[in-house]
Amino acid sequence: MFDVLVIGAGFSGLQAAYSAQQAGLSTVVLEARDRVGGKVWSVPLASGRGCAELGAAWINDTLQPRVWAYAQKFGMKVVKQRLEGQAVMEPGLDERFVFPFGVTPEFTEQEKKNLEHIRDHIQAESLKQGPLSGEDDNVTLDQYVRNLGALPKIIQMVNLWAQVMHGVEATEESAAWFIDYCRRNRGLLAIRADDASGGQYLRFQDGSQTIANRLADLIGTSKIHLSTPVATIDDHSSHVTVTSTKGQTFTARKVILSIPSTMYKELNISPRLPAAVQEVTNGTVLGDYNKAIVCYDRPWWRDLGFNGYFASYAGPVILARDTSVDEKRHFALTCFVNGEPGREWSKLVPHERRAAVLHQIARVFKQDRNSEAYRPIEVFDQIWQHERYSRGALAPITALGHLTRFREVYGRPVGNLHFVGTEYSPEWKGYMEGALCSGELGAEEVVRALRRRERALL
């Protein structure tokens, strides 16, 4: 019998297992995929020039201490997010304007003031302490900003925030959930920032998945069972029995479940989770969060004075960034195809998805069919909704009213079952740092529970 069995070898699960092990507990990890890392997935390029980050990619060296500590421990090199150059905004198929990156786009003076009013209001709310408003949890983010007097273009901008950050439309998440997400991530401005003040500051030269692979080595690869999906979890009060879809049986004193709450209902858990826990977790959804990574032989957009960043209401790409690693001669634009545009794009066959992205890149940067825009050396796309054991990204979003209504049970232990994941993290929710934080806290929770049990037996 193990002390702790962890289900899921993403960052949260690996950190939980490692922290438990460091506390002297025996651990075993079951992972459904044939790899560790979860929503962190770095795929080597055929060109040999590095890797494509299909999942989580960005970190901050001063604001995210856990992930940065691993970067230093494992000797990982980083590259700063490129900011130099002009950015592009595409309000519609026939509209486009270029502006200095980091400033308000060329809206009218009235629209600029309105955007600043909405942005500053949400920023102020996201820096407050204390409980969230039940009223805000029962209204969508879209209606919330309309109530604040948002103008049409500003409503579109807020919708873009929801698409980029969560893979949903502003009509599909509560204002309280959005504000809470910002609170856990040092405010709206920190989430949106690509410089040292925000979450998109640095990237790894050799891939984020290196951390997962090295963490697995620290835990011991013999203790991590890959390609082992879980079918049933039976909590017997004194211990838990977990059975895989292959019929393998594992026994532990405690189980840490490190999968998105959206997927709890797919497991046969006995006794059943409490009704309140089922209601809140059955109601969570994962956004349509997709990437298209277009790799080129050289960064041709820089020659035109652009830094590779563009945002679009027209789509299908809603936002793109230069994700090159110059040292490796890896030059790429990472395009996010999220929310409703992502849902439609994901229905296309692969060559149609690729064509749609290339056409938009050429359109945004005013390039013709003979340009380098149409001559990538490699193209990747990742539709996280199609990934069987992820079903979307970044963090599950609670239904309207559920975040405040179920705050006393959401993510809390049930019997010998404990729950971790970036969705529960008190800081940097939705990021690698948040996943590590939740895993660390989950292990501490288990250690305390086992010690209480031992004292009770004595």
Sign of the Cα pseudo-torsion (430, 49, 291, 393, in order): negative
Q: Which amino acid is present at 113?
A: K
Instruction: For 337-440, list the strands marked E by DSSP.
Output: 378-383, 393-397, 417-419
Residues in the chain, how many?
458
Instruction: Please answer whether residues 62 and 196 qualify as being in contact, where contact means their C-beta atoms are separated by less than 8 angstroms.
Output: yes
**Of 364, 339, 217, 341, which Cα lies nearest the Cα of 286?**
339
Does the annotation place 12 within a ligand binding site?
yes
Structure tokens at 235: 């909590």
CB proximity list for 137: less than 8 A, separation 6 or greater: 174, 175, 176, 177, 400, 401, 402, 403, 404, 405
Instruction: Please answer whether residues 245 and 229 qualify as being in contact, where contact means their C-beta atoms are separated by less than 8 angstroms.
Output: yes
CA distance 386 to 393: 11
Does the annotation place 32 within a ligand binding site?
yes
Instruction: Please answer whether residues 304 and 396 qualify as being in contact, where contact means their C-beta atoms are separated by less than 8 angstroms.
Output: no
CA distance 246 to 313: 46
Report CA-CA distances (Å) from 202 to 62, 284, 308. Answer: 11, 30, 16
Does the annotation place 125 within a ligand binding site?
no
Report CA-CA distances (Å) from 25 to 17, 225, 251, 405. Answer: 9, 18, 14, 35
Q: Which amino acid is present at 274?
A: P
Instruction: For 18-142, list the strands marked E by DSSP.
Output: 27-30, 42-44, 51-53, 58-59, 78-80, 86-92, 95-100
Annotated binding site for substrate: 336
Annotated binding site: 12, 31-32, 230, 336, 423
Annotated binding site for FAD: 12, 31-32, 230, 423
